[in-house]
Structure 1
Amino acid sequence: MDTCGPFPIQTPHGKSFFHVILDDHSNYGSTALLAHKDEAVAHYLSTEASWERKSGNKVLVVRSDGAGEFTGGDLKAHFISRGIQHQVTAPYAHAQNGKAECYIRTLEETAQTLLAESGLPSSFFGDAVLTAQYLRNRLPSSTLPSGSTPFFVMENCKPDLSHLRVWGCQCFVLIPAKIRPKGGPKRFEAIFVGYEEGRIGWRVRDLNGKYHFSRDIVFNENVRGSLRHSTVIPTSPTVTCPTPPLDTSSASPPPTSSPPPVIPVPRRSTREPTLTTRGVDHATTIRERDERLARLRAARVSRSGVSGF
């Protein structure tokens, strides 16, 4: 394990270091952003417990440089109580901890590539480093069997890559109905900045610098995220709304009023009407009913001997 930093520009949370722990067997790594180097102890303790639970093996050897946060205090007492051998490298002998040093360089170069491709400022460097770590765990490694990934060796299952998105792209996050004001927008614009281990969803940063984690996000992967508000909200993850270039070579003519639309007068249909027997049958039925009632009335009158007039 090793610590890298400080960086000239801090993250929005005041982080200026990152601490890397690398498993020598699987090449599976864990990275955490730190505001102070002393926070590396808490990161190691949580990582040790997580990896022992996943792999079913106990940590036996830890290699690091001679930094004070690794060789003294609570971490030293923890190594002694657990019977863990702590291998401390010689001063300025970076080759003795070469695997961790090379891994840090890989994360830095990947993070710089993500920033250059997305066009985001250096304040997003911490998010880019965490994303680089997340991706490295899911990419094949040359030191592992062909086609195998650090995630597969550690977790004993293939990683799911269907949730990967273009880092730094524009996205729109759904506002839950319970906190959404009536008549207000259903989504807010944000920038996609990464993932989180063990959680289903994506990590985003809104235009005010606040971080959110959500699983209901519309991604606009063809558009770079920006710290300025966009006037277009896509209805699907692949919708883009390019703005046509303005022609400044000639002045546009003033708008002219268009004549009112002409409404055509409806014309009478020339189609011959089709006669049906429905009305005729109904009239015949009524006439037959009246005749039958008249005959019955006449029969009653004749039996009673009373004239109908």
Structure 2
Amino acid sequence: MWGFVLIAKNDAFQAFKKVKFLTENKTEHKIKTLRTDRDDEFLSTEFIRLCENEGIERHLTTPYTPQQNGVVERGNRTVMAMVRSLLKGTHMQARFWGEAVRHVVYMLKRLRTKVLGECTPFEAWKGRKPHLAHLRVFGCVAYVKNTAPHLKKIDDRSSPMVYLGVDKGCKAHRVFDPRHDKLQISRDVMFQENYEWTWNASANKDENLPEFMVVDAFDTDEVIVAADVTLRKGRNMSHQLQQP
């Protein structure tokens, strides 16, 4: 259930150490066998020494024979196919591939697989069904609460950004601000899942975004998210309610 996005292949050893520690700490079971290919990052002196000291049996595939490690290779193929679909479908730049991989792996852990039948990997690992109500459409427009101090009355209370998924180990969302080229973590987000960021326009600091506002319903705690035609209807309704 643990996954890490590697910046370089040389990070494989440190990533395996983290996975090993987290897995054994969570399950109280030792890793007994490790199957990998023969790339240099898996045959380094430190990697071999760690496996020998921990009593981990090594299974190495024959060179140029990825089918001997078919489960991993098929999993990689599935992940990358979904990543391409996410990036192309939302017209996002290729530099967001890491965020797309993070989101895809998060979803795959919470979807049924043929091997587990009606169970998801999350349920097999945690012993309970996953909660999915917090997930949104990857790459959609997200309006993030402006937490800057000393806001003036006419200052914007939210800023449009791009949704990149759920932040690991935190009940919050990962969002990207294209106008300032900055990644943020926030809980106070409202989504427009039917809209995606117009990347060409954002490069010129001229966003083509749907009209958006939040209207507090009268005499209730209900919050109405309005856009486009819905927004105009809400304004007309508010005007009618204000008339004597």
- For the aligned pair, the TM-score class normalised by the smaller chain equals 0.7 to 0.9
Bigger helix fraction: 2
**C-alpha separation between the residues in 1 aligned to 2:69 and 2:192?**
41
Matching of residue 48 in structure 1 with residue 20 in structure 2: yes
Instruction: State whether residues 141 and 160 of structure 2, in contact with CA within 8 Å, keep that contact through their aligned partners in structure 1.
Output: yes
**C-alpha separation between the residues in 2 aligned to 1:181 and 1:199?**
27
> CA 1:234–1:122 in structure 2 vs 1: closer, same or farther (change >3 Å)?
farther
Matching of residue 240 in structure 1 with residue 221 in structure 2: no
Q: Which amino acid aligns with 1:80?
A: E
Instruction: State whether residues 169 and 220 of structure 1, in contact with CA within 8 Å, keep that contact through their aligned partners in structure 2.
Output: yes
Indicate the residue corresponding to 1:84 in structure 2.
Answer: 56
**C-alpha separation between the residues in 2 aligned to 1:47 and 1:237?**
43
Identity %: 27
Residue by residue over 1:241-268, the C-alpha shift from the partner in whole angstroms, topping out at 9 and shown as x without a partner, is 37xxxxxxxxxxxxxxxxxxxxxxxxxx
Indicate the residue corresponding to 2:151 in structure 1.
Answer: 182
Unaligned regions of 5+ residues in structure 1, if any? Answer: 1-27, 243-309
TM-score (norm 1): 0.63
**C-alpha separation between the residues in 2 aligned to 1:108 and 1:115?**
10
Matching of residue 152 in structure 1 with residue 131 in structure 2: no
**C-alpha separation between the residues in 1 aligned to 2:150 and 2:70?**
54
Shift of 1:188: 1.9
**C-alpha separation between the residues in 2 aligned to 1:127 and 1:240?**
28
Shift of 1:168: 0.5
Give the secondary structure class of the aligned counterpart of 2:5.
strand
Indicate the residue corresponding to 2:233 in structure 1.
Answer: none
Unaligned regions of 5+ residues in structure 2, if any? Answer: 215-222, 230-244
Shift of 1:231: 7.1
Indicate the residue corresponding to 1:39 in structure 2.
Answer: 11
Which structure has the bigger radius of gyration?
1
> CA 1:241–1:70 in structure 2 vs 1: closer, same or farther (change >3 Å)?
same
Q: Which amino acid aligns with 1:240?
A: A
Cα RMSD for the two superposed structures:
2.0
Instruction: State whether residues 33 and 59 of structure 2, in contact with CA within 8 Å, keep that contact through their aligned partners in structure 1.
Output: yes
Matching of residue 106 in structure 1 with residue 78 in structure 2: yes
TM-score (norm 2): 0.79
Residue by residue over 1:8-50, the C-alpha shift from the partner in whole angstroms, topping out at 9 and shown as x without a partner, is xxxxxxxxxxxxxxxxxxxx4x443333211122221112222
Give the secondary structure class of the aligned counterpart of 1:35.
coil
**C-alpha separation between the residues in 1 aligned to 2:227 and 2:41?**
49
Residue 29 (structure 2) aligned to one of 37, 48, 57: 57
